[in-house]
Amino acid sequence: MNSLLSRLNSLFAFTLTVMACLTFGCFLSTAFKEYGAPVHIAIGRVSVKNMEDFTGPKGKSDLGFLTFDVRADLDSLFNWNVKQLFLYLTAEYTTKNNAINQVVLWDKIILRGENTTINLKGLRPKYFFFDDGNGLRGNRNVSLWLAWNVVPNAGMLPLLAGQGTGHVRFPEVYEAGRSF
């Protein structure tokens, strides 16, 4: 009854049970938390070009250029069950071709313990802002929003958008020149 094996077995089972309970408690303790925060987004220079989409699809597409400022204090989002935040800045708009377009322009990972205040000025997109066709020129209604994916130690993976958007108005004429 009390052989070494059976003792090891119950010790192992007990350890596993305790760890599972603690992990579940960790998940429950933050399961109903709202991870919202205000965000300030301002747009700087804006222009649009028409060129070959060298990132993949064939044919000429509109390529948007812009600079932007982002300000946010995300300290309130962190708690003991947040391992990292994945921030992403998205441009969302409607075109003739597509009812909904969402293009991530910039992203950033904030690990626990890193600086949680975002204060960026005159930033350029990290990824090319190619449209699926020619829907950016003269597009007056492109909204920019910052959202985050909360990655926990254990638990759900919620996606939340910050309160506050920026609005981009693309000009009616293409900028000349092939440079970017």
Residue numbers at the binding site for other proteins (CB under 8 A) = 3, 5, 23, 55-57, 83-84, 86, 88, 90, 97-104, 107, 109, 111, 127, 132, 147, 149, 151-157, 159
Instruction: Give the nearest distance from C-beta 161 to other proteins in angstroms.
Output: 9
Closer to other proteins by Cβ: residue 59 or 177: 59
Instruction: Give the nearest distance from C-beta 9 to other proteins in angstroms.
Output: 10
Closer to other proteins by Cβ: residue 114 or 177: 114
Q: Are 164 and 41 in contact (CB under 8 A)?
A: yes
Instruction: Give the nearest distance from C-beta 177 to other proteins in angstroms.
Output: 25
Closer to other proteins by Cβ: residue 61 or 170: 61
Instruction: Give the nearest distance from C-beta 155 to other proteins in angstroms.
Output: 7
Q: What is the DSSP string of 62-81?
A: EEEEEEEEEEEE-GGG--TT
Contacts of 149 (CB under 8 A, 6+ apart): 85, 86, 88, 157, 158, 159
Query: Which residue's entry shows tokens 């962190």?
Result: 78
| Angle, vertex CA 90, rays to CA 89 and CA 91, nearest 5 | 135
Closer to other proteins by Cβ: residue 43 or 104: 104
Measured in degrees and rounded to the nearest 5, phi and psi for residue 178 equal -100, -5
Which residue type does 30 have? T
Instruction: Give the nearest distance from C-beta 3 to other proteins in angstroms.
Output: 8
Closer to other proteins by Cβ: residue 123 or 147: 147
